[in-house]
Amino acid sequence: MSALPIAPRQLFYDGQVQSASSGKTFQTVNPSNATVLAEIHVASHADVDAAIAAADRAFHSWSQTPPIIRARILQKAAALLRERNDEIARVEALDSGKAYTETSTVDVVTGADVLEYYANLVGGGGLNGETTQLRQDAWVFTKKAPLGVCAGIGAWNYPIQIALWKSAPCLAAGNTMVYKPSEFTPLHAQTLAEVYREAGLPAGVFNIVYGAGDVGAYLTSHPTIAKVSFTGQVSTGMKVAGSAAGNMKYVTMELGGKSPLIVLPDAELENAIDGAMMANFYSTGQVCTNGTRVFVPTSMKSAFEKRLLEKMQYIRPGHLFDESTNFGPLSSAGHLEKVTAYIRHGIETDKATLLYGGLGKPQVPKELEDGFWVRPTIFTDCTDSMKIVQEEIFGPVMSILSYETVEEAVKRANTTELGLAAGIFTKDLNGAHRIIDQLQAGITWVNTWGESPAEMAVGGWKKSGVGVENGRRGIEAWVKNKSTLVEMSGEVATVFAKL
């Protein structure tokens, strides 16, 4: 048997690669052609215990390290990530199935941006507390303390970016972390751990364990873990959050969405269509914030669909490292089955009008035909009650819904248990603010879709999540507050005095 193209992955804790004791492995696969990339060693419960113990030992020293020193280490790590952007992005493309044109310009870059942002924030006094003069001889001051050992559970669609979104504020705030990547895209984790080590991060501050949901469940329920940060589907997130809350752990949950994109009657047609395509087909639709419910005025529907169909030719599946490729496969065989089942349901049961795509695979080179490819798909004449409109598909499937009045569109847009993202396209910016305020979502866009810079706090409403990531508010999820009142009068007020 020939060697696999990428070296096996063991565990990483106490600052070095460690052997797993479970004796179990799994394989990670290139989604574009279904070939095996590497063997990944699974953590046993004892291995998870060891990684958590390493993080616990490191916590006291790291939490007492001055913020400016922590900042310098994290700034160096961000610089190393940028220096190695291309090589990391190549592995990210192979592991996730995303085109290199995406991973080389988004995944590593935006993760490094968040790391740099939080390094600069804490280095510049961003974790300083507040001081209030309560009265002439009394003061109140607050301090922000790190939580302890935290668990990060990654997702498979933006592997290294999500790992950085979690570890950057966690480490900047003085916590330590045990991180479990998704079993579908695990290759980035050791690379990130080694970058942190090279930047000067002390042993035990950032640690890696591998495995499926059982490993994640053991990690997140461990009594030493103070906080759980999870990115993934709603059903799993609710279980994780319930378990964590029951043990009084802090949580941040970034879950799924079924986000509305509303094209207003005055919108610039070309911009609205470009936005809708980015909101449905970028990353092969495997983005939690995707605007998959596209509301279009009845009067504009025909023109919108005609121009949309003309632009669908610009979606180009192909070799991941071809500069013209902008559309990759789905992440796994199991996910391909799920998305295909939704497309079939839309055709056969919901009986929506299939405007483009459908069942079967797009045309790709012969050597890619075994990959997990799906056709970008558009349904129209959709209704709110259809399954494809109500449930998160997490694939390149757009549903077009027509409406008569803006008030109706907003009301229908909000009729969902999810509230991750929403957006509108319009020339009337004054009106845009009024409509955005009515949309029940934590992330909203006007005349654009999808950008999520480090400075922008993002998080879902309703069942789409708890808490936020990124921005100034994002650091608050990784600290606890201590308030102190100091009385300087020299006397203690008491009711227990002689009458």
Positions annotated as catalytic residues are 254
Q: At what angle do helices 67-83 and 188-199 cross, to 10 degrees?
A: 130
Q: Based on C-alpha coordinates, what's the Rg of the chain?
A: 24
User: Is 374 within 8 Å of 339 (Cβ atoms)?
Assistant: yes
Task: Please report where in the chains the tokens 């999540």 appear, as a residue.
Answer: 465
Q: Closest Cα partner for 228 from 209, 248, 213?
A: 248
Q: Which amino acid is at 108?
A: V
* CA distances to 52, 193, 238 from 13, in Å: 9, 9, 28
Distance CA 256, CA 183 (A): 19
* CA distances to 201, 330, 369 from 167, in Å: 12, 26, 37
User: Is 420 within 8 Å of 259 (Cβ atoms)?
Assistant: yes
User: Is 153 within 8 Å of 240 (Cβ atoms)?
Assistant: yes
Residues 6 or more apart from 289 whose CB is under 8 A from it?
257, 259, 420, 421, 443, 450, 452
Helices assigned H by DSSP within 140-185: 159-172
- Residue 227: alpha-carbon gap to chain centroid: 17
Distance CA 57, CA 91 (A): 32
> Two tokens at 182?
């998704």
Q: What are phi and psi of 316, to 5 degrees?
A: -125, 95
> Two tokens at 435?
């409509």
